Amino acid sequence: MKDNILFPNSIAIVGVSQERSKIGSVIYHNVIDGGYTGKVYPVNPKYKDIEGKTCYPDILSIGGSLDMVCIVIPSQFVDDIVDDCIKKKVSTVVIISSGFKEVNPDGRDLEEKIATKLKKAGIRLIGPNTLGFINNSFKLNLSFARSNPGFGSTTFISQSGAFCTAILDMACRDGLGFSKVISIGNKADISENELVEFLQKDKDTDSIALYLEEFTDGKDFVEIVQKVDKPMIIIAPGSSQRAKEAISSHTGSLATSYDTTLAAIEKANLIKVESSEELFDMIKVVSAKKLPKGKGVGIITNAGGPGIMATDFVEMSGLDVAEIGEKTKEKLSSFLPLNASVKNPVDILGDAHLDRYEFSIKTMLEDKAVDSLVVILTPQLVTDIVGVAKCIVDIQKQTSKPIFSCFLGGKDIEDGNKILRAYGMYVSNNIEDSMRLISKVTEYVVKENTYSVRKISDLMGKGRYRKIVNKLTTEEVTILPDDVVEKIAKEFKLDLPSQLITANIDEAIEFASYHFPVAIKATSKDLAHKTDFKGIFLDIRTISELQSKFEELSTNIEKIIGKKSPEILIQEMIEPKVEFFIGANREGALDIYEKGGFGFGHLMAIGQGGIYTEVHKDIKHILIPETIKNIENKLEETRVSMIINGYRGKSPLAKTQLIETIDKIQRMLVTYPQIYSLDLNPVILTEKRAVIVDIKMYIKR
C-alpha cells in the first residue's frame, strides 16, 4: 500500500454544503479544523464558494493534480464522480456514501462496477459505506466522527463506522489518543490485510485494534498477522452459526464457521475481546507498553473478601497466584500491622492509610514471582482514595510491570478513577473483568515467545488420485466412494484395518476366515451414519454368525435405500481402548490453497469419538497448516487426552501415532482441497496403534 493513501497532499470533498450539519460539510470542517496542511477543495455544483473558499462544480475543474477524492453524495450519483476521478488520475477514492452491497443486489452490482473501474485505472478505494479515516500522524481527520481524541500509539481498523465513533467517544472521555482510526466499510478494495501489513512498518503505530464482521481472506490474514510483532486486539462478532449446507457429517455441527474464526484468531495470536468496553480497556493496557512477562499475579487489598474473590478469579482465568518469597514477606511484616496478611493476596486491612499502600505496592513489585499487580481498594472512612490513585500513577511510571487498579464502589471512588484514567491507566470496578484482561494479555505475551509457524507448501503432496477426485467433484456436496477413500488413505499411510468391500457372502467368508473377529458395515455412500440405521454389526466370530448378520445387514440397507444386493464393508475387528474423532470442514472454495484463493482453508476438529461424539463435545479445533508441536498442545487440551496419557495407572495409548495421524490428515486435506468435509469416527487407539475404522469424505467445488 502506498503511503499517500493515508497521507494525501491534496483532497477534494464532493458533497460539501453550506449547511454545517450535512455529512459532507462535517468532513470538510473536520479536515480544516484538524490542522491539515495540504490543499482542500470543496466540490458542489450548487455553490460558488463555501464560507469564503472557492467551491468547484466538479473535480475536473480543479487545477493541478489530486491525491484523494472523498465522495459524500447519494449512491446513484457516485458512478459519474468515479468516472471523473479516473479522468483526473487521482490516487485514492474514499466513498463515504452508503447504499451499496449492504442494502440490496442492485447496490452490490453498483459497488462491483465501481470497484472494477477503479482497479483497472490503478486507483485505490476506501469504502464504500465508511465513516472515513483519521490520521493523527498527519493531522488529517477525513471523517464525520463527532470527536477526535488526538495522537496516540494505537491504530484502530473497523468495519463498522458506528463502532469507531463509540471508541472515539470513550477515548475522548479518558484522554486516550490514536495514531490512526480507519473505517473500511464494505472493503471493496482496501481491506484489513493490506492495512495490517502497512501498519507493521508504521513507526507511529505500536499496537493495532480491529473490529471485523468478516475476513476478506482469512488464510492470508493469518499469515500476515503471524509476522506482526506488535500487539493486536480484535473483536469479531458472529458467534451464531451461519446457515450451512446440509451434509451428513458430524463435523458440520462440531466445526462451525465461527469456530474457524476463533481458531484463526488463536493461531494468529490476537487478543480477542468481547465488547466495546473490553476492547477499549485492552487498548489502554497495550498502549501503556507495560505487559506482564509471566502468569504470576500479585494482589494487594484493604479488605479480605475482595482478596479472596481475586484469588478465585486468578485461578479461574488460568493465571497463577504468585508465590512471593520469604524476603518479601519479612519486609511486609516489618511495616504492616500484626493482623495484616503478608501472604499473597496481601491484606493491608481496612484502616490502611496511603503509606501502607505505597510500601506494599513497591515491595510486591520487587518480588520476581510477581509479573503483574492488582491493587484493590474499597472506600473505608480513612482511605485516601485520591492519594492512592496518585501513588499508583507515580509507581507505574517507574516500573516495567503493569499495575491493574480495581477500585470498588461508586461515587466515592470516582475522583481516584479520574486520576488513573487521565494517565491512561486501566481501572475497573469489577475484579473478574480485571483478571480476564490480565489473562488475555498474559496469554498473548507467553504465546508470542513460544508459538511455532508452518507453511501450506510444507504439507502439499503429489496427489496420485487427483484426476479421479476431480472427475467426481461437482458444485454440490457429494460423498466420495469408499474405494477411492481407501486409496487416498493408503497414499498417506494412514493405519486402516484389513478390509474388503463386497456384495458376495462367499468372498466375505473367505476374508473373515483369516481375520476373525470381524465387523461388517454399510458403505458410507449407502449409509453415512451406520449406528442410526442398524448399519453395523461388531465382533462377529464365526462363519454362521457372519452369514446371518451379512444377510440381516443387506436386508436393512435394501429397506432404507432400495438397493438390492448392496456392497458390504467387512473389516478386521480392533479392540478399542479409546475411540477418538478427527473431522474437518473447508472454509473457502476448491482453489483455497492456490494464490488468489479466498477463505481460511480447512478447520480440523479433534477429540473424543464414538457414537456420543456430539454429546461429549470434547472437541478442540486446529486451523491448518499447523506444526506437530502445536497439534500436541491442542490434543492436550482435550479431556480424553488424560486417558490417552495413561490414567490411574493404566498404560498410555498410542499418542505419538495419533499425532502423526492428525498431521497426515492435514497433509491429505491440502493435497486434496476437493475434500469439503471429513469424518474419521472412530479412530481406535490401542497401546501401539491409531486405527481409522470409519472414514467419510465429502467433496465439493
Q: Domain 286-448: which topology?
A: Rossmann fold (3.40.50)
* Closest by Cα among 360, 371, 356, 379 to 429: 379
The percentage of the chain sitting over the pLDDT mark of 90, rounded to a whole number, equals 87
In the prediction, which pLDDT does 242 show?
45
610-630: average pLDDT? 91
Per-residue pLDDT band at 648 (split at 50, 70, 90): confident
Class of domain 578-699: alpha beta
Reply yes or no on whether the pLDDT at 670 is more than 80: yes
Residue identified by cell 440490496 is: 104
Cα distances from 333 to residues 341, 347, 386, in angstroms, run 8, 11, 26
In the prediction, which pLDDT does 239 show?
58
Per-residue pLDDT tens digits for 287-324 = 999 999 999 999 999 999 999 999 999 999 999 999 99
Give the domain ranges of the chain.
3-237, 286-448, 498-572, 578-699
Beta strands in 101-220 (DSSP E): 124-126, 132-135, 140-143, 154-158, 180-183, 207-211
Give CA–CA dist 605/130, Å, rounded.
37
Per-residue pLDDT tens digits for 557-608 = 988 888 888 999 999 999 888 999 999 999 999 999 998 899 999 999 999 9
Higher pLDDT, 255 or 699: 699
Reply yes or no on whether the pLDDT at 246 is more than 50: no
- Number of Cα atoms under 13 Å in the Cβ half of residue 664: 17
Give CA–CA dist 135/155, Å, rounded.
9
Cα distances from 10 to residues 66, 373, 475, in angstroms, run 6, 48, 48
Give CA–CA dist 684/581, Å, rounded.
9
Give CA–CA dist 45/97, Å, rounded.
18
In the prediction, which pLDDT does 297 show?
98
Give CA–CA dist 531/250, Å, rounded.
13
Measured at the alpha carbon of residue 60, what is the angle toward residues 55 and 65, in degrees to the nearest 5? 95
Give CA–CA dist 684/609, Å, rounded.
9
Per-residue pLDDT band at 243 (split at 50, 70, 90): very low
In the prediction, which pLDDT does 595 show?
87
- Amino acid (1-letter code) at residue 414: E
The three grid cell numbers given for residue 365, joined into one nine-digit string: 513489585
Domains 3-237 and 286-448 share a fold: yes
The 10 Å Cβ neighbour count of residue 357 is 23
Reply yes or no on whether the pLDDT at 646 is more than 50: yes
Burial class of residue 543, CB neighbours in 10 A (0-12, 13-18, 19+): middle
Give CA–CA dist 257/244, Å, rounded.
9
Please tell me the CATH code under which domain 3-237 is placed. 3.40.50.720
Give CA–CA dist 516/519, Å, rounded.
9
* Closest by Cα among 38, 100, 30 to 68: 38
Q: What are 569's strand-pairing partners?
A: 501, 521
Give CA–CA dist 185/78, Å, rounded.
16
* Closest by Cα among 585, 580, 581 to 260: 585
Strand-strand pairing, 478-479 and 695-699: antiparallel
612-621: average pLDDT? 89
Coil/strand/helix, residue 473: coil
Per-residue pLDDT tens digits for 318-346 = 999 999 999 999 999 999 999 999 999 99
Reply yes or no on whether the pLDDT at 531 is more than 80: no
Are 143 and 187 within 8 A, CB to CB?
no
Query: Residues for the chain: how many in total?
Result: 701
Per-residue pLDDT band at 250 (split at 50, 70, 90): very low
* Closest by Cα among 553, 561, 570 to 525: 561
Cα distances from 101 to residues 115, 127, 129, 188, 268, in angstroms, run 12, 11, 9, 9, 29
Are 487 and 469 within 8 A, CB to CB?
no
Q: Rounded to an integer, what is the distance from CA 125 to the centroid of its chain?
A: 26
pTM, full prediction: 0.91
Reply yes or no on whether the pLDDT at 159 is more than 60: yes
The three grid cell numbers given for residue 351, joined into one nine-digit string: 484502616
- Amino acid (1-letter code) at residue 372: S
The three grid cell numbers given for residue 697, joined into one nine-digit string: 469424505
The CATH number of domain 498-572, selected from 3.40.50.2300, 3.30.1490.20, 3.30.470.20, 3.90.1300.10: 3.30.1490.20
**Average pLDDT over the chain, rounded to whole?**
93
Reply yes or no on whether the pLDDT at 683 is more than 50: yes
* Closest by Cα among 500, 501, 513 to 567: 501
Burial 602-631 (b: 16+ CB within 10 A, else e): bbbbbbbbbeebeeeebbbbbbbbbeeebb
Are 350 and 303 within 8 A, CB to CB?
yes
Annotate 113-132 with DSSP letters as a single string.
Answer: HHHHHHHHHT-EEE-SS--E
Per-residue pLDDT tens digits for 402-437 = 999 999 999 999 999 999 999 989 999 999 999 999
Burial class of residue 531, CB neighbours in 10 A (0-12, 13-18, 19+): exposed
Are 684 and 574 within 8 A, CB to CB?
yes
Give CA–CA dist 332/339, Å, rounded.
12
Are 59 and 69 within 8 A, CB to CB?
yes
- Number of Cα atoms under 13 Å in the Cβ half of residue 370: 29
In the prediction, which pLDDT does 244 show?
39
Give CA–CA dist 181/156, Å, rounded.
5
Element (H, E) at 518: strand 518-522
631-658: average pLDDT? 95
Per-residue pLDDT band at 248 (split at 50, 70, 90): very low
Are 267 and 623 within 8 A, CB to CB?
yes
